[in-house]
Amino acid sequence: MALSALLSATAPAAAEPVLRIAMTAADIPTTTGLPNNGFEGMRFLGYPVFEGLVLWDIARTDRASALRPGLAERWEQAPDDAKTWIFHLRQGVRFHDGTAFDADAVIWNLDRFFRPDSPQYEPPAAGISRARAPLLASYRKIDPRTVAITSREPVAYFPYMVVYLLFTSPASFEAAGRDWARVATLPAAGTGPFRIARVQPREMVELARNGEYWDEAHRAQVEKVRLMPIPEANARIAALRAGQVDWIEAPAPDAIPSLRQAGFTVTTGSYPHIWPWLYNIGATGSPLKDVRVRQALNYCIDRDALVTLLNGTAEPAFGWLKRSDPNFGSPQNRYRLDPAKGRALLAEAGFGAGKPLTLRLMVSASGSGQMQPLPMNEFLQENLKQTCDVDVAIDVVEWQVLLNAMRATPDAPALRGATVLNISSTTSDVAVMARYFGSANIAPKGFNFAQWTDAGFDTAMADAARAPDSEAMDAAMRAGHERLVDDPPWLYVVHDLNPRAMSPRVKGYVSPESWFVDLTRISVP
């Protein structure tokens, strides 16, 4: 959205009892009940409006977010079948349109995601859901308040997949004439603390407080939230300074000192997230098939200098997890800036001054968790040329195009010849680890874009799936992470610190150790 259009379309702050948020997305996330635009879509148009059987506990700031009961008040593995989980649904929950949430609504939504012959099947939402819950095999209604969901194999961390399956009122689909395109503007009804009040494609979505929200302790303080896509960082800052928005995602790092001096609040906080390059190992003739090349790149980049460029809003990444994480493990490779080691590994793989390594990198101009992708990638482009004589060509695309490319096969036209993608990732739990790196989840089936296979890693994930307790699961995660470092499918660059800037009128915000935020605590005058 152009800044001039934003300024003309938005009234002065004094007349607006609304929390106005500038997202990094180039368009509003989809509003049918399972948003696109990555986890920024889930952050603002996912959990605040549409909920799952399981939810994230985002009330804590002193530890990484864990799971909590959502539309299911409890769940357990079936005593006679380790592959089946029984979910006991919460009583008295209603969708925003007044219809009841019950087992029939659960089955209807699961058919929407997993049954292509159902009238309500929604291919875009199905693609996202299948990739996030790749082990789901079947489901059935036990009674009006109970459903069973079965995975393809026993998996102890299955609830960490279920948390991403969100539920929409079946009545929304019927009211729209069974047309998902019309559902998007009806708007659709969820069960969350906010309901969608108004949709203007490419401009904004307005949320209104759900005064009948089932969880009285988490009913929203603010009456309305307006979400606006403003993909360019300087435009977001200008809108904040002009009083046209109250909250911006990912402020440009060089503007942070002046924002603080002007009285704006700039928040940062550690959370489970990484900003990497994803190697296209599976592409025909890819130089990244050689593990020495993948390791070399991890020794060739100057992470500390990049953190300085970002004004301290990130920390160096030496693996998928932070080095301080108890599950980082003890890998053989301890990555750091070491050009001599990087060049030696490249030379062993057949690359050097006479035959430099050449990569084609696909990036977005903005997007969920992408921080400042253009200056960051331009820094890495120059850095790799200087340290290890690596040539990187940058191809800039829109954020959703990049996300779609991540689910493509290695030589697909959608990749436009890319050997590397820059897409950030949550690192919240072992289910995400398995989803991104397990050989069973190779794209386009799942999120393993790299087409990476490692027997040691797969063994560790199998151990995690059978883990009898949290200690055993942590041990399996450590073993798996050691393989991710020593046989890297990604270039590990930085873990960002989730910076955002806010007007002083925003009260009650807390920064949980999560990708997601609790909008219900926030108030504005």
**Residue 320 domain flag:** yes
Nearest to 309 by CA among 217, 216, 371, 362: 371
**Residue 175 domain flag:** no
- Helix 291-300 to helix 339-348 angle (10° resolution) is 160
pLDDT category at 309 given cuts 50, 70, 90 is very high
The 10 Å Cβ neighbour count of residue 515 is 24
The 10 Å Cβ neighbour count of residue 353 is 8
pLDDT above 60 (res 423): yes
Claim to verify: residue 505 and residue 480 sit in the same structural domain? no
Q: How far apart are CA 327 and CA 38, in angstroms?
A: 25
Please count the structural domains in the chain.
Answer: 3
| CATH for 249 | 3.40.190.10
The pLDDT, as a whole number, for residue 5 is 45
Claim to verify: residue 346 and residue 257 sit in the same structural domain? no
Above pLDDT 90, what percent of the chain? 89
The 10 Å Cβ neighbour count of residue 266 is 17
pLDDT category at 445 given cuts 50, 70, 90 is confident
pLDDT above 60 (res 268): yes
Q: How far apart are CA 216 and CA 523, in angstroms?
A: 17
Residue 225 is part of which domain span? 1-49+192-271+499-525
Q: How far apart are CA 168 and CA 386, in angstroms?
A: 52
**Residue 21 domain flag:** yes
Claim to verify: residue 315 and residue 461 sit in the same structural domain? yes
The pLDDT, as a whole number, for residue 16 is 55
**Residue 36 domain flag:** yes
**Residue 178 domain flag:** no
- Final residue of a structural domain among 170, 201, 231: 170
**460-478: per-residue pLDDT in tens?**
999 999 999 999 999 999 9
The pLDDT, as a whole number, for residue 283 is 97
**91-107: per-residue pLDDT in tens?**
999 999 999 999 999 99
Phi, psi for 155 (deg, rounded to 5): -145, 115
Claim to verify: residue 210 and residue 229 sit in the same structural domain? yes
Mean pLDDT over all residues of the chain? 94
pLDDT above 70 (res 509): yes
Amino acid type, 141: K
**Residue 186 domain flag:** no
Contact (Cβ atoms closer than 8 angstroms) between residue 83 and residue 188 = no
Report the half-sphere exposure of 282 (CA within 13 A, side-chain side).
Answer: 20
pLDDT above 80 (res 76): yes
Q: What is the 3-state secondary structure (H, E, C) of 285-346?
A: CCHHHCHHHHHHHHHHCCHHHHHHHCCCCEEECCCCCCCCCCCCCCCCCCCCCCHHHHHHHH
Claim to verify: residue 369 and residue 418 sit in the same structural domain? yes
Claim to verify: residue 45 and residue 63 sit in the same structural domain? no
Q: How far apart are CA 359 and CA 390, in angstroms?
A: 8
Claim to verify: residue 162 and residue 200 sit in the same structural domain? no
| CATH for 376 | 3.10.105.10
The pLDDT, as a whole number, for residue 129 is 94
Contact (Cβ atoms closer than 8 angstroms) between residue 191 and residue 215 = no
User: If you average pLDDT over residues 110-125, what whole number do you get?
Assistant: 97
Contact (Cβ atoms closer than 8 angstroms) between residue 195 and residue 208 = yes
Claim to verify: residue 77 and residue 36 sit in the same structural domain? no
Claim to verify: residue 306 and residue 417 sit in the same structural domain? yes
Claim to verify: residue 296 and residue 428 sit in the same structural domain? yes
Nearest to 249 by CA among 262, 260, 236, 265: 236
pLDDT category at 369 given cuts 50, 70, 90 is confident
| CATH for 165 | 3.90.76.10
pLDDT above 90 (res 353): no
**Residue 179 domain flag:** no
User: If you average pLDDT over residues 351-375, what whole number do you get?
Assistant: 94
**Residue 477 domain flag:** yes
Claim to verify: residue 110 and residue 202 sit in the same structural domain? no
CA dihedral over 49, 54, 59, 65, signed as positive or negative: negative
Q: How far apart are CA 73 and CA 214, in angstroms?
A: 12
Claim to verify: residue 38 and residue 67 sit in the same structural domain? no
